[in-house]
Structure 1
Amino acid sequence: MSLYSFFGCLLIAYGPILSIFFLYIARNARHVLLMVASAFFCLIALLLSSVIWYFAKATQFNHAVSIVYSITIQELLRWCFFRLLIRAEAGLNIVSVNPKSPFNRSMFAFVSGFGYALMTSLVSYISLLVESIGPGVIMCPSCPQVTVFFVSAITTTLFSLLHMAWMMIAFEGFANITRWRGVLQVIWVVASHYGASYATMMNGSSTIYLGCVYAIIVCMVLLSVSVMIVAKTLKSRLVVKLDLIR
């Protein structure tokens, strides 16, 4: 059963992002380079978080504190990557299929979000996935009927999709940070990132029955709202484009 569990969790955790990569990103070398650059920034954020965790001996087992500085660093590096992309945007638009398309930045944000999603999913879940091959299983404290491997696989794929949506919302917010709408978008990204991360703490809580279910529901709600925000932004750009054509 260990191999069945391994491949099942593997496809649940990485199936969606691998499908996106092979069907969309891998076909364009520019997208691959942008994805790698974004993943590198995310790796720097994770490395800085690890350094802080290593030296902060008093809070190593306090996950609530670790989440605070980890997400703060990730969001700061997200903004830094946006600033870097703004400098390269003109060149990226030139080599695009449609240099004047209003959706180019959204496409860049989506690919950049994929880089964040790929790196965080690999770092957070790959070691746990390898343990699923072992002779034993680890049951989820809040949901004793299922294993930690399965719950973490679902959480990983949800966070992967969330990172892509967050990057698209964040880029839009950073570009319009002087307006109240842009500020609200940035606040939503940061707040929902904290909310989703803290919700996952219910997975390991033995005092909250079916805590893993509540955590998944919270992540799905946040993902649904984020997707609606992205869809609304893309729709507004489409309306503007149609008005210009007319």
Structure 2
Amino acid sequence: MTLMEFFGCSFIAFGPAFALFIFTISRDPLRVIVLIASAFFWLLALLISSILWYAVVPLRKELAFGLVFSVIFQELFRYLFYKILRKADDGLKKVSQTGQDMHVAPRDMTNKHIMSYVSGLGYGIMCGAFSLINVLADMAGPGTIGIYGDSQYFFVSSAVLTLCFILLHTFWGVIFFDAWDQKKYYMIGVVVASHMLVSCLTLLNQRTESRPDPVYLASIIPAYIVMFVMGFLAFVTAGGTYDNLKRSFTCLSSRKYEID
């Protein structure tokens, strides 16, 4: 039973991200490099926030303290990665002019929205991995969920929230990069504020004396509402329209009929 839940929660949390990687990133070496570099910058943000948490001894037991500064450092390093990518635009353009014979001519990497999407997904994958890896290790067993009075929904709720954060980081990456390009500073505030909001919502899953049982739905439902809003904003930011979406569904339907 525990092994089944291990695989189920793993697929819930990382299945969509794995599919996005396989179908949109894995075939392009530059996209893979940007993805890995973005994940590394998230690790740097985690390292700095961990050092701060360790240095401030009186507040080590305050989870909210570490959470708030973790969000701040993540957004600071997202901005730093944005600046580095924009500095590398000339190099990417030169690579995009390389002949097809060398199989390293990803011309669409000069599309800034694609770069922001890839970097956001790298941020999200690394965030999800660190959020859930220890939970997955315990999930594999041996043991029975809830045997000591703990919530039987802890594992699946963790997986669902991890998926939410992976997709959110992907959407935030698209919105954040475009906001700096277009000087839309209010959108940067939207990204940071929504990141802080969703992160603070996870504090509702913490046991306290006044709340012995975590209220998972109180954090999951608002988090997914924010995710859908951010997804819509990212879609519009990347130039998406209703006509484009309708045309995409039409193409998918026609391909399905051709296969049949």
Q: Could you state the TM-score of these two structures normalised by the residue count of structure 1?
A: 0.86
Number of paired residues?
233
CA separation of 1:237 and 1:162: change in aligned 2, threshold 3 A: same
Q: Which runs of 5+ in 1 are unaligned?
A: 240-246
Corresponding position of 1:163: 169
Q: Equivalent residues in 2 for 1:143-182 (5 A)?
A: 146-177=152-183, 182=184
What are the superposed Cα offsets for residues 175-198 of structure 1, whole Å, 9 maximum, x if unpaired? 123xxxx11110011000000001
Q: For residues 118 and 202 of structure 1, what CA distance do their matches in structure 2 show?
A: 23
After TM superposition, give the deviation of residue 211 of structure 1 in Å.
2.0
Q: For residues 168 and 193 of structure 1, what CA distance do their matches in structure 2 show?
A: 14
Aligned 8 A contact 1:162 1:226 in 2: yes
What are the superposed Cα offsets for residues 53-110 of structure 1, whole Å, 9 maximum, x if unpaired? 2222222221111111111111100000010001112322343499987981000000
Secondary structure of the 2:238 match is: helix
Secondary structure of the 1:95 match is: helix
Aligned 8 A contact 2:35 2:122 in 1: yes
Aligned 8 A contact 1:38 1:81 in 2: yes
Q: Could you state the TM-score of these two structures normalised by the residue count of structure 2?
A: 0.81
CA separation of 1:138 and 1:218: change in aligned 2, threshold 3 A: same
Corresponding position of 1:35: 35
Corresponding position of 1:121: 128
Aligned match for 1:186, one of 185, 188, 209: 188
Aligned 8 A contact 2:64 2:200 in 1: yes
Q: Which runs of 5+ in 2 are unaligned?
A: 98-104, 244-260
Aligned 8 A contact 2:204 2:215 in 1: yes
What are the superposed Cα offsets for residues 201-230 of structure 1, whole Å, 9 maximum, x if unpaired? 112246287721121111111111111111
Corresponding position of 1:232: 236
Q: For residues 116 and 187 of structure 1, what CA distance do their matches in structure 2 show?
A: 19
Aligned match for 2:202, one of 200, 203, 215: 200
How well do the aligned residues superpose, as a CA RMSD in angstroms? Answer: 2.7
Q: For residues 12 and 228 of structure 1, what CA distance do their matches in structure 2 show?
A: 22
Q: Equivalent residues in 2 for 1:1-246 (5 A)?
A: 1-96=1-96, 104-137=111-144, 139=146, 146-177=152-183, 182-205=184-207, 207=211, 211-235=215-239
What are the superposed Cα offsets for residues 33-61 of structure 1, whole Å, 9 maximum, x if unpaired? 01011111111001111111222222222
Aligned 8 A contact 1:110 1:164 in 2: yes
Quick one: percent identity of the two aligned structures?
Answer: 34
